[in-house]
């Protein structure tokens, strides 16, 4: 009885920790969108005339966090695109079947990436909240540029979910499994996928669906207002449409799977019908 309760407590703690760490990836997109807003107002000199200055934490985050997050998100997004196109992904559990020599370095790398994400997101959120970026009205963030359509939003959400899933499998799961259970390569449970999707949906409905579009709207707004487009703006625009591409690949793969299932079942149904017709003819004879 005591062992069962302890195992249940471990599983609940594992699910809670796994979900929170998995949300670091969509939170990174949200944070980069807020940084894009701040950079936009800095370039238009809106906040230079304010009597208040940026907090030191936000100033540090504006110069360091975007660079690190852009690099890490680009690597993870490209890995997600490759996974969507080929269906293959390198995960830490694959090395268990061959040799455990490469397991520890990979877990160590996953720890470094995860801690880097956590520090960057935590530092950026703390600084942006202190500066009041999350208190801004969404209507004032429109920049005079038309927002994305509902279809593009849905496709982006699908791509973000796919990228989030790859992030969870490659980085989060090995670290959490090794920390909680001392084993890497545990079988994924359906409840983890459900909670992962539900948490992303809640974050999307709360903030992400409107704010993340700053990554792509920013470039269009700066071009219309003849403001210099920085490399960070271009990378944010590229990340947005890369995620949309991942979502489109997922949609196409889903459609191909449905067509394959339909074509597979149709000959079987036709064969059953022909057998019934032959049996009816035999009965008449």
Closest CA to 166 of 124, 205, 110, 211: 110
Our CA dihedral for 161, 164, 165, 168, rounded to 10 degrees, sits at: -160
Distance, CA of 231 to CA of 267 (rounded, Å): 54
Counting the structural domains of the chain, the total is: 1
Instruction: Give the separation between CA 211 and CA 134, rounded to whole angstroms.
Output: 10
The answer to whether the Cα torsion of 260, 265, 268, 270 is positive or negative is negative
Token pair listed for 60: 């540090």
Find out whether 12 and 186 touch, Cβ atoms under 8 Å: no
Cα–Cα distance between 175 and 170 in angstroms, integer?
Answer: 9
Determine the Cα–Cα distance for residues 31 and 69; give it in Å rounded to an integer: 9
Q: What's the pTM?
A: 0.82
* Tens digit of each residue's pLDDT, the chain (285 residues): 667 888 888 889 999 999 999 999 999 998 888 888 777 777 665 444 444 455 555 566 666 778 889 999 999 999 999 988 887 765 544 444 444 555 678 888 889 999 999 988 888 777 667 666 655 544 444 454 556 678 888 999 999 999 999 999 999 998 998 888 877 767 778 888 999 999 999 999 988 888 888 888 887 777 777 777 778 888 999 999 999 999 999 999 989 888 888 888 765 544 444 544 544 444 443
Q: And the tokens for 218?
A: 């920013």
Q: Which domain holds residue 60?
A: 2-284
Tell me the C-alpha distance between 167 and 105, whole Å.
18
Give the sign of the dihedral formed by CA 42, CA 47, CA 49, CA 51: negative
CA–CA dist 129, 151 (Å, integer): 31
Question: In the chain, what is the straight-line distance between the N-terminal and C-terminal CA atoms, in Å?
Answer: 69
Rounded-to-integer distance, Cα 218 and Cα 228, Å:
11
User: What torsion do the CA atoms of 108, 161, 240, 32 make, to the nearest 10 degrees?
Assistant: -60
Continuous segment of H or E residues that includes residue 247: helix 231-284
**Residues found in the chain:** 285
């Amino acid at each position: 009885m005591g062992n069962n309760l302890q195992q249940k407590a471990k599983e609940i703690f594992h699910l809670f920790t796994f979900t929170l760490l998995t949300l670091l990836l969509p939170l990174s997109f949200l944070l980069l969108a807020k940084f894009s807003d701040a950079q936009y107002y800095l370039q238009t000199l809106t906040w230079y005339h304010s009597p208040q200055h940026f907090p030191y934490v936000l100033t540090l985050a504006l110069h360091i966090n975007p660079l690190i997050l852009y690099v890490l998100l680009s690597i993870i997004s490209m890995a997600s695109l490759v996974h969507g196109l080929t269906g293959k992904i390198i995960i830490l559990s694959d090395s268990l079947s061959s040799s455990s020599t490469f397991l520890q370095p990979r877990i160590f790398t996953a720890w470094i990436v995860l801690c880097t994400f956590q520090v960057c997101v935590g530092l950026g959120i703390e600084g942006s909240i202190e500066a009041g970026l999350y208190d801004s009205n969404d209507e004032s963030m429109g920049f005079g540029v038309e927002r994305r359509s509902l279809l593009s939003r849905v496709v982006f959400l699908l791509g973000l979910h796919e990228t989030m899933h790859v992030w969870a499998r490659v980085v989060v799961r090995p670290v959490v499994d090794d920390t909680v259970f001392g084993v890497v390569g545990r079988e994924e449970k359906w409840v983890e996928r459900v909670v992962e999707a539900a948490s992303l949906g809640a974050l999307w409905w709360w903030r992400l669906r409107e704010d993340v579009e700053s990554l792509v709207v920013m470039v269009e707004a700066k071009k219309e207002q003849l403001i210099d487009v920085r490399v960070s703006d271009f990378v944010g625009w590229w990340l947005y449409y890369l995620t949309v591409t991942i979502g489109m690949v997922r949609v196409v793969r889903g459609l191909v799977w449905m067509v394959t299932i339909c074509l597979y079942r149709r000959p079987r149904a036709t064969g059953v019908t022909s057998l019934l017709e032959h049996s009816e003819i035999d009965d008449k004879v």
